[in-house]
């Protein structure tokens, strides 16, 4: 039975552009000094790409990334030059810095798990006793992680990065300034939308002219965690879970279906009704974070054909 959902973009095969790298959700084409990023409708969880794409997810992600990159370019320069299509970003090709700059304003996620197990030092940063999950930290902290080719990323301190020669001191300090400045701007923007920016990651690279730039999305739900500000204090005092703005509900559905990404587990198929719900949630995230109305493409338009027409015109 054919799907009642609008057409989706699962992957692209524009070999005429150049070499293609397939990430979890983006197809990346490398030109000599430019890069073309195409946000597909793929969705991942537990380090696995699910079999069914989500309508409009790629457009939501790409437009959110462009929105936040535009709103933070005065804090830290970035790679982005244009978004010629709702699913496409074009920018400078930069050499990636092999470190993720993770900034945390609240004790959540990985940091909470380390703390719960007795850790009071995270990437060389001391944490005070007596904190609970979801508590705001005395100040935002930087907790870098090395980007692993396989397996999980590794927490690392400033001192270890310098000792290993991964980064020199001047580069580290510049990127630290950018990361904390971006987090401060993201915190302000989140408050304006009734949200709390909990934690996020930033990825940087060096452009052909030698400048350091942001090379990935910032402050999107795929790279960040948000709490709903209203009722935050009451939930903390009651020891209740915080309301999150993220794709956590997808992971919860997968766990209900018996999948957590462990060896031997089969990725479940998502029924159309759930895919539609996920799509609506992503659109809601876009509108909540930007205050803008989401404009979907025509329901019968093939996104792959549209994108190819656009790219042939500009490349």
Residue 257 CA, chain-centre distance (Å), reads: 25
pLDDT at 148: 61
CB atoms within 10 A of CB 133: 17
- Give residue-wise pLDDT tens across range 131-187: 999 999 999 999 999 976 554 578 999 999 999 999 999 999 999 999 999 999 999
pTM, whole model, 2 decimals? Answer: 0.91
Boundaries of every domain in the chain: 96-245
Which CATH homologous superfamily contains domain 96-245?
A: ATP-grasp fold, B domain (3.30.470.20)
Rounded CA separation 190/273 (Å): 30
Report the length, in residues, of the chain. Answer: 315
Sign (positive or negative) of CA dihedral 258, 260, 264, 268: positive
The contacts found for 145-149 with CB under 8 angstroms, 24 or more apart, are 145/99, 145/100, 145/102, 145/201, 146/98, 146/99, 146/100, 147/96, 147/98, 147/99, 147/100
- Tokens representing residue 24 in the block: 């979890």
- Give residue-wise pLDDT tens across range 180-220: 999 999 999 999 999 999 999 999 999 999 999 999 999 99
Per-residue DSSP letters for 128-180? -TT--TTPEEEEEEE--EE--SSS--EE--HHHHHHHTSS-HHHHHHHHHHHH
Rounded CA separation 200/222 (Å): 9
């Amino acid at each position: 039975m054919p799907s009642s959902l609008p057409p989706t973009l699962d992957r692209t095969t524009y070999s005429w552009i150049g070499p293609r790298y397939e990430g979890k959700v983006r197809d990346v084409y490398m030109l000599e000094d430019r890069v073309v990023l195409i946000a597909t409708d793929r969705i991942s969880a537990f380090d696995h790409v699910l079999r069914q794409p989500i309508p409009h997810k790629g457009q939501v992600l790409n437009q959110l990334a462009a929105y936040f990159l535009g709103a933070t370019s005065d804090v830290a320069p970035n790679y982005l030059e244009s978004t010629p299509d709702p699913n496409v970003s074009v920018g400078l090709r930069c050499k990636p810095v092999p470190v993720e700059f993770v900034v945390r304003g609240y004790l959540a996620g990985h940091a909470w798990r380390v703390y719960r197990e007795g850790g009071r030092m995270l990437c060389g940063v001391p944490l005070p006793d007596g904190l609970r999950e979801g508590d705001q930290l005395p100040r935002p902290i930087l907790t870098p992680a090395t980007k692993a080719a396989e397996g999980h990323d590794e927490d690392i301190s400033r001192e270890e990065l310098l000792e290993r020669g991964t980064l020199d001191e001047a580069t580290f300090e510049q990127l630290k300034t950018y990361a904390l400045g971006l987090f401060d701007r993201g915190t302000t923007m989140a408050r304006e939308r009734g949200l709390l920016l909990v934690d996020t990651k930033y990825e940087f690279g060096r452009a052909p002219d030698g400048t350091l730039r942001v090379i990935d999305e910032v402050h999107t739900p795929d790279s960040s965690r948000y709490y709903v500000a209203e009722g935050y204090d009451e939930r903390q005092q009651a020891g209740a879970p915080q309301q999150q703005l993220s794709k956590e509900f997808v992971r919860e559905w997968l766990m209900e279906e018996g999948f957590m990404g462990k060896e031997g587990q089969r990725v479940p198929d998502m029924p159309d009704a759930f895919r539609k719900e996920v799509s609506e949630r992503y659109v809601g995230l876009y509108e909540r974070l930007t205050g803008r109305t989401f404009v979907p493409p025509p329901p019968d338009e093939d996104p792959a054909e549209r994108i190819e027409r656009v790219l042939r015109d500009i490349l």
